Structure 1
Amino acid sequence: MPPPELTSQINSIHGVRLAGEPSIWDIQIGYPADSPQGTVTSVTPHEPSHEPSTKDDFESPLALPALTHPHIHLDKVFIHSAPAYAPFLPTAGTFQEALSSTTKAKQQFSHSDLIRRGEWLLAESVASGVTAMRAFVEVDHTVQLICLEAAIALKTQWKDSCDIQIVCFAQDPILSSEHGEQNMEFLETALHRYSQIDVIGTTPYVESSPEAAKQNIEWAIDRTLKLNKHLDFHLDYNLDSNKEALVWHVLQTLKQRNWTTHSTDKRVMLGHCTRLTLLTENEWARLAAEIHENKLPVSFVGLPTSDTYMASPPRTNADCKPPQDRPRGTLQVLEMIRKYNLDAVIGVNNVGNSFTPWGLPDPLSLACLGVGIYQAGSQADAELLYECVSTRARAAIGLSPSHSALCVKPGCRPDLLLVHDRDDTGCGVSRPRTNVAEVVWTPPGKLNRDVVSGGRLKISPFAAADSDALYQF
């Protein structure tokens, strides 16, 4: 399956609405000779033609920044959709079962299988409006380098539609267990051989002891600094108050290694971190102070579809809680941003496997879920949730210097999602989304999403229908 076809470069987009702006606007795009990417050069009030029109301003498409996956697994995606993996469908739904069944499934991975399932993810993501993603692929004694090699092939094939940031990821132990030494050898081989790797990722909590977990953290920080790459930890994925939160060791080691916004432009992402939901208010204040005062370029990514499925407190035979008392935990991302001024976003994580058998690779559906997860029903909440799967997410993975608001402005990269009100009911009626909140509260179907990547429109039967009046090439 080839990547989607794109049009030639767009010079201007006419008659669109912008987030938080009245009336309708025209967007001009330029293409500097010294840059492969386009840039929004101006945004000006739309001058209507002299021809009479009955079209309401609210029927003009809403132009928003494109979507981003800040944390998604490319190699384990849609295992449940491939018949070959039917023996590995979940029965208990536990984290340990997911680890075990996925390890067995990985033994059957092949290059063609990885490419096919990866294309499923990319096709659905790009059609949803995703133009950038941080994609995890595992490197260990089971899969060796096969997942990484498939990801590199996909990164090349889909580069015009989606910027794929590859994470060389150690899901399994690298400093303990029977295969730790082998896993480390494959990791080092991958880092030496493939310049296409953008990020190093590890999972400290899978090590056999707290000491080994801390060594995992220290190794990853030292190796990433030396190679000048981004760093991404799966961290503190539990709801056990008896377990030490490893986030403190991460921050301590970053300070010791002088990893600050002044020393490097590479960033550190901490994923899951459900254990942090058990922190006291004083501990949260301390965490924020540690990051801000030391200028640590640390971001957090909450993964609510996985976290609410997997992260639950340990239960014992002596547990006196009623059987229906089953708390779940996921980072309170909006509060982290507003109360503590932390850099936090949300991501899809897994799609169609035992770690997360439910949910879509559509960041807008995740933002919609956030309305309920965070009890965030205001228009301002919806706009912040959109940022968390768009401009904030892109900045958190280091693909833009800082996050911007949702209004398209000069200087922006022309990666856009245009939301239309085309009839997708077959009933001859359509309901416009008049603002960002309505896009988040009731996400439009793909028929109503035009995707512009780097100034080029993704060709689809829907986009072609009214592109002549909207896009000038």
Structure 2
Amino acid sequence: MTRSLHLSNVRLADGQRVAVSVVDGRIEALGAHVAAPRDAHIEDGGGALLLPGFVEGHTHLDKSNWGRPWYRNEVGPLLTDRIGNEREWRRASGHDAAAQSLALSRAFVAAGTTRLRTHVDIDTDARLRHLEGVLATRQTMRDTLDVQIVAFPQSGMLIRPGTVELLGDALAQGADVLGALDPALIDGDPVASLDATFALAQRYRKPIDIHLHEPGEIGAFTLKLLLDRVEAMSMQGQVVISHGFCLGALPERERDVLLDRIARLHVALLTSAPPSCTVPPLKLCRDKGITMFGGNDGVRDTWTPYGVPDMLERAMLIGMRYDLRRDDDLMIAFDCVSEAAARGCGFADYGLHVGARADLVLVDAESVAHAVVARPKRKLVVANGRIVARDGALLS
């Protein structure tokens, strides 16, 4: 059956008043003089600002404690402290990745997110249990939220024998992307770790998204090794570097050599714009043609008490971290959770144009900059051509 929707009296970012016609989940027409399709559901936007559905470029649905009682965080300061604490807590508490990923996914959709990339822990304790939970959530949300799953070795790969095989199983069973983590500081052997990662990616024909927290020169060394493999294995456009803290701490000359190579190999960068870490230079990366986008990272888990499933808030935090104050600069912050994020993750048919999947958000805001700063309640959320949320609440 043909499904059609007509949104009238809405405004684009440039202020133009338009209508949008949606048929079978796609934007069929968008403009100032668009007639409603026959038998369409007609919705008056009331002059609201029309935005594309938001994109969460990096989160961990399987870890979240969203909607559950407060988790008292008493973990030590080291990365390894957090990894070990989380693994033990999840085991002892019976943390349910299926229930928690579903709760957080629904909250993301209510706030306007329609595309999402999540990293899911694969390790020799839980094996594929967390993946199975998130696969169930993806199936439940399939008509509303486009979910990419990254098979992520949170506890390390080479230091936990059997993890490589489990990652392969995860890719075979439905994970879309191969994850990796700090090959030098966690696995202790960046050459062997990266060799294993790229061999797996080649075997299963999957892209790579690597967490690179390694600082300064250690991070730069790992990054060079990674870029060598991208080039040697012709994986241009198939790799994302998440966090990339070293790129915010290196001397300019060394940093710019790396950024030029990242641009040439079409490697994308992800930032959560953390206030306590160095970050890659956003505007310089964009000037060099690098796709740099945003994500929450963890939301209310054992790693952090912070985070909410609202990509307008993440855009605001990106703006604050990078001192983006002008309206045109705040458009950059929004791009990090919309067009750039879709491009970096490889989500197809995205945006406000004819033929795109109809993922739309209406907010009462004067401009995109105003929406980022004020983060108004989502007046309407359309996912895959269907109204799924109104006034900040899911309809089902």
CA shift for structure 1 position 411: 2.6
CA shift for structure 1 position 463: 8.3
CA shift for structure 1 position 138: 0.8
CA shift for structure 1 position 110: 4.4
Q: What is the RMSD computed on CA atoms of the aligned residues? A: 2.7
Pick closer, same or farther for the CA change 1:123–1:134 going to 2, 3 Å: same
Could you tell me which residue of structure 2 aligns to residue 149 of structure 1?
132
Residue number among 377, 387, 390 corresponding to 1:457 in the alignment? 387
2:357 matches 1:413: yes
Could you tell me which residue of structure 2 aligns to residue 250 of structure 1?
226
Residues in 1 aligned to 2:111 and 2:304: alpha-carbon distance in whole angstroms: 19
Q: Map of 1:17-96 to 2, 5 A cutoff? A: 17-22=11-16, 24-31=17-24, 38-46=25-33, 60-78=47-65, 82-83=68-69, 86=71, 89-96=73-80
CA shift for structure 1 position 358: 1.1
Residue number among 182, 197, 205 corresponding to 1:204 in the alignment? 182
Could you tell me which residue of structure 2 aligns to residue 114 of structure 1?
97
The higher relative CO (CA closer than 8 Å, separation ≥ 6) is in 1
The SS at the match of 1:189 is: helix
Could you tell me which residue of structure 2 aligns to residue 287 of structure 1?
258
CA shift for structure 1 position 172: 1.9
Residue number among 282, 286, 290 corresponding to 1:337 in the alignment? 286
Could you tell me which residue of structure 1 aligns to residue 168 of structure 2?
188
The SS at the match of 2:161 is: helix
Letter in 2 for 1:68: V
Residues in 2 aligned to 1:94 and 1:358: alpha-carbon distance in whole angstroms: 18
Letter in 2 for 1:384: I
Residues in 1 aligned to 2:109 and 2:192: alpha-carbon distance in whole angstroms: 38
8 A Cα contact 2:157 2:187, kept in partner: no
Give the % identical residues.
Answer: 24
Could you tell me which residue of structure 2 aligns to residue 224 of structure 1?
201
8 A Cα contact 1:11 1:29, kept in partner: yes
Bigger radius of gyration, 1 or 2? 1
8 A Cα contact 2:48 2:362, kept in partner: yes
What stretches of structure 2 of length at least 5 have no aligned partner?
A: 36-43
The one-character-per-residue Cα deviations of 1:286-342 (angstroms, maximum 9, x if unpaired) are 22332344xx231100112xx335xxxxxxxxxxxxxxxxxx32233233213x221
**Relative to structure 2, which stretch is displaced further, 147-156 or 216-225?**
216-225
Could you tell me which residue of structure 2 aligns to residue 319 of structure 1?
none
Pick closer, same or farther for the CA change 1:95–1:114 going to 2, 3 Å: same
2:243 matches 1:272: yes
Q: TM-score, normalised by structure 2?
A: 0.89
8 A Cα contact 1:127 1:449, kept in partner: no
Which is strand-richer, 1 or 2? 2
Letter in 1 for 2:282: V
Could you tell me which residue of structure 1 aligns to residue 5 of structure 2?
11
8 A Cα contact 1:174 1:207, kept in partner: no
Pick closer, same or farther for the CA change 1:130–1:329 going to 2, 3 Å: same
Could you tell me which residue of structure 2 aligns to residue 98 of structure 1?
82
The one-character-per-residue Cα deviations of 1:390-417 (angstroms, maximum 9, x if unpaired) are 121011111127x86xxx2223221111
The SS at the match of 1:60 is: strand
Letter in 2 for 1:233: I
CA shift for structure 1 position 182: 2.5
Pick closer, same or farther for the CA change 1:230–1:123 going to 2, 3 Å: same
Pick closer, same or farther for the CA change 1:11–1:356 going to 2, 3 Å: same
The one-character-per-residue Cα deviations of 1:350-391 (angstroms, maximum 9, x if unpaired) are 011232221212111011112221111111111111111012
Residues in 1 aligned to 2:97 and 2:192: alpha-carbon distance in whole angstroms: 31
What stretches of structure 1 of length at least 5 have no aligned partner?
A: 1-7, 32-37, 49-56, 262-266, 310-327, 421-432, 466-473
The SS at the match of 1:90 is: coil
Could you tell me which residue of structure 2 aligns to residue 303 of structure 1?
272
Q: TM-score, normalised by structure 1?
A: 0.75
2:163 matches 1:214: no
CA shift for structure 1 position 243: 5.7
Residues in 1 aligned to 2:23 and 2:369: alpha-carbon distance in whole angstroms: 30
Could you tell me which residue of structure 1 aligns to residue 39 of structure 2?
none
CA shift for structure 1 position 188: 2.8
Residues in 1 aligned to 2:221 and 2:206: alpha-carbon distance in whole angstroms: 25
Pick closer, same or farther for the CA change 1:182–1:227 going to 2, 3 Å: closer
Residues in 1 aligned to 2:93 and 2:393: alpha-carbon distance in whole angstroms: 36
